[in-house]
C-alpha cells in the first residue's frame, strides 16, 4: 500500500495529499477483493440479506464493493410486487460539515457516499442490478475447504428405531465393530412419541454390551421416559464402565416383560470404535 511520508520539520500538506491517502486505500481494497473474487466487479462484502415473506421483501443493511470502494447500504423494506419487479442499487451522495476557509468562503468538507436499495419494474439509469456475489460467503467456503473434516473412523453416528413391542427381547443399537475392537459409547439419545402411553410395570430399558441382559451395563432409559404420555426426548450419558471387545451395544427391558401400549422409539447413537 502506498503511504504518505510524515516528516518532521514543518512538512507542507496540501489537499492532494489527502487524495493520495484515499487513493492508496482504495487501491489496496480493490486488490484484496479482486484477488479473492477473481473480478473487480460489484460484490456484497457484508449483509444485504434478502428475506421474502408475508407480502414484503426485506433487505438487511450491509456493505457493497464497487469501483474499488466500499459503500454502506442501509436496510429497507418493500411491498412485494412479484417476479416482474427487480432489486437494484443506486448511488446516494450527500455533503455535510460546513467550514469557513481563509478566503472567507464556506464549503462542505464531508461527503457521505452510500448506495441505496431500490425496487421497481425496471432498473433506472445510473443504478446497478443487485449483485449475486457475496465476498464473505466465498471466504467462508475457501477457509472451510482447508479445514480437515473429522475422520469418519473417529466419531461415528447411527440411528435405529424399534417398536415398543420388541423391547422385551434383546435389540441391537450398535453392531459389533469387529475382532479386537471395542465400542466406546459417547452418548445415546432416544425419542418416544406414543400412540397410546406404555405401561412397563416399573421396568427400565437397560443398555449393555453383548446379547444378554445380565452383561455389563452401559446405561438405562428410565421408566419415566418409557411411560411418557407425549413426545419425550432423553439423552443417556454413560458413566465410567468396563468395555467388552467384539461385542455389540444392545437394549432390553430390565425384567424382560412385554409392555402394554403402542410406541416407537428412535435411538441416536454417537460412539467411537477403538482397536485394541
Please give the chain's pLDDT, 276 residues, in tens: 777 777 787 878 777 877 787 777 777 777 776 666 666 678 888 888 888 777 888 889 988 888 778 889 999 998 888 767 888 889 988 998 899 988 999 999 888 889 999 888 888 888 888 876 666 665 655 555 555 555 545 678 899 999 999 999 999 999 998 888 889 898 999 999 899 999 999 999 999 998 888 776 889 999 999 999 999 999 988 876 778 888 999 999 999 999 999 999 999 999 988 887
Contact (CB, 8 A) for 60 and 48: yes
Q: Report how far apart, in Å, the C-alpha atoms of 224 and of each of 32, 164, 230 are.
A: 59, 14, 11
Q: What is the pLDDT of residue 153?
A: 54
Distance CA 254, CA 223 (A): 10
Residue 240 has a pLDDT of: 66
Burial status of residue 72 (CB atoms within 10 A of its CB: 0-12, 13-18, 19 or more): middle
Whether 191 and 160 have beta carbons less than 8 Å apart is answered as: no
pLDDT of 135 reads 67
- What pLDDT is recorded for position 46? 84
How many of the other CB atoms lie within 10 Å of CB of 231? 9
Domain ranges across the chain: 15-140, 156-275
What pLDDT is recorded for position 27? 76
C-alpha to C-alpha distance for 156 and 147, rounded to whole angstroms: 19
Q: Which three cell numbers stand for residue 19?
A: 487524495
Q: What CATH number does domain 156-275 carry, 1.10.10, 2.60.120, 3.10.150, 2.60.40?
A: 2.60.120
Q: How far, in Å, are 1, 21, 114, 210 from residue 5 at the CA level?
A: 12, 10, 30, 77
| Cβ proximity of 260 and 195 under 8 Å | no
pLDDT of residue 121: 85
Question: What's the Rg (C-alpha) of the chain?
Answer: 33
Predicted local distance difference test score (pLDDT) of residue 179: 87
Amino acid at each position: 500500500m502506498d503511504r504518505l511520508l510524515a516528516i518532521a520539520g514543518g512538512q507542507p500538506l496540501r489537499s492532494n495529499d489527502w487524495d493520495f491517502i484515499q487513493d492508496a486505500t482504495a487501491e489496496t481494497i480493490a486488490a484484496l477483493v479482486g484477488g479473492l473474487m477473481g473480478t473487480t466487479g460489484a460484490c456484497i462484502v457484508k449483509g444485504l440479506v434478502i428475506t421474502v415473506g408475508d407480502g414484503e421483501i426485506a433487505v438487511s443493511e450491509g456493505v457493497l464493493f464497487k469501483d474499488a470502494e466500499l459503500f454502506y447500504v442501509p436496510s429497507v423494506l418493500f411491498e412485494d410486487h412479484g417476479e416482474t419487479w427487480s432489486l437494484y442499487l443506486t448511488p446516494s451522495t450527500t455533503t455535510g460539515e460546513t467550514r469557513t476557509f481563509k478566503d472567507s468562503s464556506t464549503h462542505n468538507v464531508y461527503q457521505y457516499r452510500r448506495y441505496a436499495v431500490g425496487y421497481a419494474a425496471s432498473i433506472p439509469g445510473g443504478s446497478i442490478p443487485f449483485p449475486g456475489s457475496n465476498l464473505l460467503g466465498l471466504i467462508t467456503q475457501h477457509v472451510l475447504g482447508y479445514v480437515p473434516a473429522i475422520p469418519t473412523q473417529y466419531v461415528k453416528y447411527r440411528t435405529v428405531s424399534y417398536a415398543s413391542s420388541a423391547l422385551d427381547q434383546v435389540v441391537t443399537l450398535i453392531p459389533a465393530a469387529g475382532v479386537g475392537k471395542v465400542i466406546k459409547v459417547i452418548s445415546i439419545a432416544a425419542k418416544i412419541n406414543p400412540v397410546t402411553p406404555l405401561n412397563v410395570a416399573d421396568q427400565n430399558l437397560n443398555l449393555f454390551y453383548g446379547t444378554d441382559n445380565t452383561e455389563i451395563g452401559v446405561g438405562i432409559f428410565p421408566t419415566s421416559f418409557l411411560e411418557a404420555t407425549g413426545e419425550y426426548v432423553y439423552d443417556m450419558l454413560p458413566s465410567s464402565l468396563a468395555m467388552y471387545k467384539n461385542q455389540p451395544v444392545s437394549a432390553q427391558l430390565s425384567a424382560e416383560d412385554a409392555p402394554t401400549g403402542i410406541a416407537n422409539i428412535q435411538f441416536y447413537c454417537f460412539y467411537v470404535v477403538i482397536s485394541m
